[in-house]
Each structure stands twice: as structure tokens, then as C-alpha cells.
A and B are shown apart, each in its own frame.
Chain A
Amino acid sequence: MVNPAIDLVIQLGIMFAIGAAMAMAFISISHLLSPRSTNPNKSEPYECGVVPKSDARAPFNVHYYLVAVLFVLFDLEAVFIYPWAVSLRTLGTPALAEMFVFIAILLVGYVYAWKKGVFEWE
């Protein structure tokens, strides 16, 4: 019997090895079996459609930015709702009230962003 911690490392190592082997196997099998054409159009980003004109790293409209940042913020509030939902039955009414307060504060932020025109796309 080896040390359980080392044992676990060995198990993890085997898992990683199998995972890597499977990934490589899928790629190489499809590489070997798939039919291929060597038309130069294949190297275009889009095989059919508009030919791209400029670099993809163009500046975005700043609105994307605002929405993305707001998404990050509102999305993360879910981490507080999960544990709350799981333990609501044991915590009872006070916890329910607290969650309403929490959501209300979030709503203030939401209404503020809305009124400031963050969600308007001209």
C-alpha cells in the first residue's frame, strides 16, 4: 500500500495520459481518414461569402464593452444565489427577505444603466 496521496497522483496521472491519448487519437484518425481538397480557396477565412478586407483586430464599438462589463457583474451575482437556493429551506423567511434586498440593490444598478442608455443601439 503506497501513501494515499501518491496513489492519487498516480491515478490522476493515468487519467491525464488517457485523456491526452484520446485527444491525439481523434485528431490523428480524422487527419488520416478524412478526404481533402487542395483548392487555394480553402485557406480563406470564409470559403464562400465576402472576402475579408481588414484585420480582425479592429476596435469594437464601445457599447460591446459596456454590455460585456455589465454581463460580468450581473452574471457573478449568481454565485450568491446558488448557495442561498440550496439552503433556503433551513434558513427560512429572513433569508428570503435578504435575497429580495439583494436583488433590489442589483435592480438599482440595472435601472441606472438602462436610463443611462447602455442598452440602446443606434
Chain B
Amino acid sequence: MGATPTEMPIPVDWYLYLSAALFIVGAAGVLIRRNLFVVLFSLELMLNAVNINLVGFSRFHENLVGQNFVLFVMAIAAAEAAIGLAIATALFRNRQTLMVDLFDRMKG
């Protein structure tokens, strides 16, 4: 272990690979999965991939802007989840299903 406090023990590009992988998994989930709840999970996954990026870069640049940003992203992710669940409840009451590809009343 030769890591001094200012040096990153894990290089920043590893965080990038991890977050890129998570982001792609999330994006694919949003585009492919049919169940609304799984789509919501996937959206959260995308936001958390961003958080990993921000924290990694924050350490890399040795400033706290990225960590600051993460707090806002977390709060907004919670708000988005709450709205998503509320919309899901309203839809389920009216349609008794949560399969997104069945919601096609409007076309053209």
C-alpha cells in the first residue's frame, strides 16, 4: 500500500467503468423492461451511476463540488421516485395493470 492521502488508491477510470456499466444497465432497463416498477428501479440505477461518477471525480479533483452535487441528486431521485409511485398508483386504479406497453390510448 503506497497510497499517500492525496493519491487515489483506486484510479479514477475504474469509477468511470463502473458508473458507465451501471448507467447502461439502467438505460437498457428503462428501454426494454415492461413492468413500471422495474423501469423505476432502472431510472434510479441511472441516477446512482451518475452519483458514483460525481464522487469519484470529487476525489480526483480534490474538491467537494461533486459530493455536494450528489446530495442534490439523491434528494431529487427520491422526489422522482415518489412521483413515479404516485403515477403508478393512479394508473393501477384505472387500468389494473402496470405493464407500460399497454398504455397506448393515444396514437398517431
Contacts and interface: CB of A to CB of B under 8 A. Distances in A.
Instruction: Report if A and B associate in a common complex.
Output: yes
Interface of A: 1, 4-5, 7-8, 11, 62, 65, 69, 72-73, 75-77, 79-80, 83
Interface residues of B, number: 17
Contacts of B82: 69, 72-73
B66 to A, nearest CB: 13
Main secondary structure of the interface of A (DSSP, over half): helix
B71 interface: yes
A65 B89 contact: yes
Contacts of B32: none
B78 A73 contact: yes
B79 A73 contact: yes
9 contacts: A4-B3, A5-B10, A8-B9, A65-B89, A73-B78, A73-B79, A76-B74, A76-B78, A79-B75
A8 B11 CA distance: 11
